[in-house]
Homo-oligomer: A and B are copies of this chain.
Amino acid sequence: MKLIYAEVLTQTIQKRPEHSHKGSYGQVVIIGGNKQYGGAIQLCSAATVYSGAGLTTTVTDVQNHAAVHAMVPETMVLDWNDTKAVTNQLKKATVIVIGPGLGLEQGAFSLLSFVLEHLQTKQICIIDGSAITLYAEHKEHLPPHPTQNLIFTPHEMEWQRLSGITIAEQTPEKNRQAQQQLGAQIVLKKHRTEIYTAKQTWKNPLGTPAMATGGMGDTLAGMIAGFYAQFPHHTQTLLAAVYLHSFIAEKIAQTHYVVLPSTLIKEIPLAMKLFESFQETRTSLH
């Protein structure tokens, strides 16, 4: 198992080309947030926007629209029951997140099926939170879909549901096997988060127990989405998002007993600039 190293950030967070516009930085569609878990979709949307995605659309229960916009006016909102509008938006997406605060209701599963059924091979789809549980529990009812485009972001219990491996038995070897069967990339969130890709296993050397609070996973999902929206669709991008999330949290934890997701999100543009600058400095020294 390899350790993620800081260079993934300086390699990933490139200086933006001068001739670019918001269309150059991807379109993210975030689906989730039932009447109970609207906060999750706020945090995920904010993390996506603050990571630099070009255009972000939040597909959620109408009841959440006001709070989403009060926190993130930069995102657009759609009623998750408006199938036509959601369909149109999904067609244009470069990255999709489904799961934060989605819940386990019937409608939630329909949305997940719908997303998978229409998933394009050029799109990345991050499956988080309750969407992982739904995926695990209804595997046989899922439509055919390109699994190599999927990124699952389970915590250990969700991974148990998805892989069938009990938490106690979740060894790197068994996790690897399960990844091979699923065909998707796996971000297994735990004390030292592990990432299983088709070719390699990675461990995140960063992280702090100050991150152990509700909403932190939604924030990570949003950051991964923001990164894939802008940066190349390969593993390094995923590693960079996971690493930066913990990096920022560790910095905040030096002065905060608990790192609130909304505190972390505000720091993303500053931390990204830091790594872009490192890279610039290095380049100029050559």
Contacts and interface: CB of A to CB of B under 8 A. Distances in A.
Interface string A73-105: 111111100000100000000000000000000
A21 B190 contact: yes
Number of copies: 4
A42 interface: yes
A76 B100 CA distance: 12
A260 B62 CA distance: 24
B43 A213 contact: no
A254 to B, nearest CB: 8
Given A21-B155, A85-B36, A73 B213 contact: no
A198 interface: no
A150 to B, nearest CB: 24
A44 to B, nearest CB: 10
A74 B269 contact: no
Interface string A103-146: 00000000000000000000000000000000000000000000
A285 to B, nearest CB: 20
A52 interface: yes
Contacts of A39: 69, 72-77
B43 A73 contact: yes
Nearest to A51: B258
A255 B63 CA distance: 36
Interface of A: 13, 16-22, 24-25, 35-40, 42-43, 46, 49-56, 62-67, 69-79, 85, 155-156, 190-191, 208-210, 212-216, 253-263, 268-270, 272-273, 276
